[in-house]
A and B are shown apart, each in its own frame.
Chain A
């Protein structure tokens, strides 16, 4: 079970995860920057507070399930898993390299602790539904299934097929999380393919929707606690995040969706993140 961390501790962990994301991506020479950085707070909250899991026993029968539907954001998951003790942090530098367990997009069979293979978008929620239905058949009621989804991936029809199924079977042990960062490869989501009113869409599909600032760890933890209290519907947490969060020149810029920093940008980004860490530490002493 998890050690209880203070919010300040969690913010520092999230900052470390961001630094590792920058290092991994620069070393890999390819990959996605904006999404993983924006999701660092959510993944910190999940792995260091919310999830019931055991890094030393990834297949633990009583664990909560965390599915990553937008597989291109996997660097944040790898960084959080390494920090949590699933594997040594130095393995992070093998990302996207030949023979690595850390594939460019996650593969379930390669690395213990990954629950699904993703990359092609729109499948995570269906897989969650399958797992939830299996748990119901087995009369398992004490495990939660969290699904992190992108906002751009909700252009996929498969997502809405799953949405209807979860509503039909009232799969209330599913907590879906939309990383609402408003960007996708070709631009802003509302110009590529408008998603709004996203909250109304999910509600009209029979879901309970909670909106939260996805870069506020405390608020996100609270939102998940609220979600677990809803027993009659599946739950969608629309988490508003800043793409590229923590690195000034990447924030809000959709062109960072699918590219890594070069060496100079890495140095600049790490410097910013170290300054940020100093600020978080000094806040703790205020």
Chain B
């Protein structure tokens, strides 16, 4: 089991993107070939820390996301490790083909940073609530897809990305999220972490939903259900061994993500289990619909992106399978 903080104690909350900003600054300090480009969102994607420290290694692209990633491809071809950032709704939302052809087909180490992902961007509404980015990036050969659960993990992920030789996509959220990992929590690209051990049901979560999964595991205890929580920070490549091992142990799976379940983490886990270990599964996330304006808490409640929803699904799943047996 991986070492994390006790969620019953008071947790500090911080936007996940803040960790990215610190991580990029550190990666840039370690390696002079780390460079950055942004499409007119330097402060809000937290690239400003890097820009202030290394102005000669920062490129302001303007509101031009297609150019953002193709310039990234050129920078990488010339030996740089470019981090290119915008809101996820625009990058990779708008420039998928450029990412496919000029980055993935060439296996160029361009690091695509999609900030303000999910419904948690709130009042901005459906246009800005990127829900399909995991699906869009997951289908591209060579691409690695990362969704950290908090700012501390985002910092480690960013530093790891700078050392990684392939194209990467990192998904960041805007609103403050409870910090559940610490300096001592290990992070490795491609590794899932068992945050809580249990025997009756496995909750597989990514990004902001991992905190909800941890709370759900506590709620489930009251119902005499022992839940295992697996945090999947790297959705691609998926850590198949960790997931299969847990599925074999508990025999019931719930996935949780702040995005479309089709093609997202829920899709990825279903594909894996369908082929290698058919297991009853329920997917928490956006159910083939768009978001809308509102506060993060209202939207999470409305779209069922809560620990309560995970708990309910786990209870119902356990009951329905119990009846079959």
Residue from B61, B66, B67 whose CB has the most chain A CB atoms within 10 Å: B67
Q: Look across to chain B and name the residue whose beta carbon is closest to the beta carbon of A163.
A: B67
List, in ascending order, chain A residues with CB within 8 A of B56's CB: 137
Q: How long is the Cα–Cα vector from A47 to B79 in the complex, in angstroms?
A: 24
- Are the C-beta atoms of A131 and B70 separated by less than 8 Å? no
Q: Tell me the chain B residues, 99-158 only, with Cβ under 8 Å from chain A.
A: 101-102, 105-107
Q: What's the Cα separation between A138 and B79 when bound, in Å?
A: 10
A132-173 Cβ-contact flags toward B at 8 Å (1 or 0): 111101100000000000000000011001101100110000
Is residue B75 within 8 Å, beta carbon to beta carbon, of the partner chain?
yes
Task: Give the CA-CA distance A133 to B58 in the complex, in Å.
Answer: 10
Question: Is B293 an interface residue, CB under 8 A from the partner?
Answer: no
Are the C-beta atoms of B74 and A127 separated by less than 8 Å? yes
Contact of B105 among A107, A135, A137, A165 (CB under 8 A): A107
Q: When each residue 89-133 of chain A gets 1 if its CB lies under 8 Å from chain B and 0 otherwise, what string results?
A: 000000000000000000111000001111110110011111111
In the complex the two chains form, is A165's CB within 8 Å of B62's CB? Answer: yes
Taking the nearest CB of chain B, how far is it from the CB of A197, in angstroms? Answer: 23
Whole-angstrom CA separation of A107 from B73 in the bound complex? 13
Q: How far is the CB of A139 from chain B (nearest CB, A)?
A: 10
Q: Which residue of B lies closest to A71 (CB)?
A: B101
Question: Is residue B167 contacting chain A, with contact meaning CB distance below 8 A?
Answer: no
Judged by a CB distance under 8 angstroms, whether B71 is at the interface is: yes
**Count of chain B residues with Cβ under 8 Å from any Cβ of A?**
28
A123 touches B98 (CB 8 A): yes
Cross-chain contact B76 with A130 (CB below 8 angstroms): yes
Query: Are A161 and B66 in touch, CB under 8 angstroms?
Result: yes
Q: CA A36 – CA B317 in complex, angstroms? A: 62
CA distance A199 to B105 in the complex (A): 33
Please state if A117 and B66 are interface contacts (CB–CB under 8 Å): no
B3 CB to nearest chain A CB (Å)? 40
Report which of A117, A120, A133, A164 forms a contact with B75, defined as CB distance below 8 A: A133
**Chain A residues, CB < 8 A from B1:** none
Whether a CB of chain A sits under 8 angstroms from the CB of B170 is no
B97 touches A120 (CB 8 A): yes
Beyond A115-B77, A126-B74, whether A158 also contacts B67 by CB under 8 A is yes
Q: What's the nearest-Cβ distance from chain A to residue B31, in Å?
A: 13
Q: A123-B101, A126-B70, A162-B67 are in contact. Are A116 and B80 (CB under 8 A)?
A: no
Q: What are 28 A-B contacts defined by CB distance under 8 Å?
A: A109-B105, A109-B106, A115-B77, A116-B77, A117-B101, A120-B101, A123-B70, A123-B73, A126-B66, A127-B77, A128-B74, A129-B67, A130-B77, A130-B80, A131-B74, A131-B78, A132-B74, A133-B74, A137-B56, A137-B57, A158-B67, A161-B62, A161-B64, A161-B66, A165-B62, A165-B71, A168-B62, A169-B59
Report which B residues bind A (CB closer than 8 A).
Answer: 35, 56-57, 59, 61-62, 64, 66-67, 70-80, 82, 97-98, 101-102, 105-107
Residues of A in contact with B (beta carbons under 8 Å apart): 107-109, 115-120, 122-123, 126-135, 137-138, 157-158, 161-162, 164-165, 168-169
